[in-house]
């Protein structure tokens, strides 16, 4: 596609629908910088760890305690941590 000299890097995609890797290829004449998020190389968090974290939050009350007396609750997650 770009000739013999190519720069390749892999990205994760489909985090909520299969979580697979995709290889991006760039011409070797391009100046490409790969910027990884903090925690990029950490192991994924499994369901047991997520349950534990909800039951034992750091520096705040549990979701159950925060929701006490409320009729509706919204939980929003800004990013998937791996």
Q: What is the pLDDT of residue 40?
A: 79
| DSSP codes of every residue in 14-59 | -TTTT-EEEEEEEETTS-----PPTTTTSPPPPHHHHHHHHHS-SS
- Among candidates 10, 75, 6, which has minimal Cα distance to 40? 10
Cβ-Cβ contacts under 8 Å for 11 (sequence gap 6 or more)? 21, 22, 24
Lowest-pLDDT range of 3-7, 43-47, 49-53, 77-81 = 77-81
Domain ranges of the chain: 6-67
Which residues, in sequence order, are bridge partners of residue 24? 9
Q: Which of 3-7, 26-30, 33-37 has the lowest mean pLDDT?
A: 3-7
């Amino acid at each position: 596609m770009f000739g013999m000299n190519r720069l390749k890097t892999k990205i994760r995609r489909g985090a909520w629908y299969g979580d697979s890797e995709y290889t991006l290829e760039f011409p070797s004449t391009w100046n490409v910088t790969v910027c990884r998020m903090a925690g990029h190389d950490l192991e994924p968090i499994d369901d047991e760890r997520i349950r534990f974290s909800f039951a034992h939050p750091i520096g705040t009350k549990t979701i159950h305690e925060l929701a006490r007396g409320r009729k509706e609750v919204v939980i929003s997650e800004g990013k998937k941590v791996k």
